[in-house]
Homo-oligomer: A and B are copies of this chain.
Amino acid sequence: MTPVGVLGTGIVGQTFATRLAGLGVDVLVGARSADSASLDPFANLAVRTGSFADAADHADLLVNATNGINSLAVLESIGAESLAGKTILDLSNELVLSDHGFPVPTASVENSVGRRLQEAFPETFVVKSLNTMNCTVMVDPSIVPGDHVVFLSGDDEGAKDRVRAFLASLGWRNEQMVDLGGIESAAGPEMMMKVWMSVTMTRGRDAPRFNWAINSA
């Protein structure tokens, strides 16, 4: 597999780094700075670490594992020139804290992180995918049975093919990949975050992982 840059050091970034290292992928995890304490959890993994810009230099495929609320600023810190021609797998959701301290998804047809990133970086290929599930399912779909689905939204077919190949390396089967169309369609999976959070809360913290499936007549 080709090298991968991972943007973001939270639980999603850590889950990807662990899984990709296990697959033998050449990974560089990027943080705000190369000496950020947020990189400490990666010390025992077979991955390299550095700044966001280092991650972008490292690979043609970047996984955006930052919180959607920060994603635009992270890409701006790297710069359009360094990102030109790269494929960004955007698995972010934008969440803001409510007055009650709960995270609230901001997505709507008018407000999509994926579309905003694509519009801000027209020379970069943004593909929205994987944002509709827990990160443990993202990196190993075999833990959930059946033909549960992963959506793809993006304007560039070549970039979508690269993301498909990446998804396949994680264990996703072609039958599970649902191409929704251009990056305009990214709002749809982002808007699923609200019901995903309700289902997660209803099932409880200790419930088994789940993912959406599409049953057909």
Contact = CB atoms under 8 A, between A and B. Distances in A.
A191 interface: yes
Interface in A170-217: 178-181, 185, 187-189, 191-192, 194-199, 201-202, 207-217
Chain A binding surface SS class: mixed
Interface stretch (A37-45, A48-56, A70-78, A145-153): A145-153
A53 B178 CA distance: 44
A15 interface: no
Max chain B CB contacts within 10 Å: which of A146, A181, A188, A201? Answer: A188
A180 B196 CA distance: 10
B192 A214 contact: no
Contacts of A209: 216-217
A114 interface: no
A105 interface: yes
A185 B195 CA distance: 7
Interface of A: 104-109, 111, 137, 143-146, 148, 151, 178-181, 185, 187-189, 191-192, 194-199, 201-202, 207-217
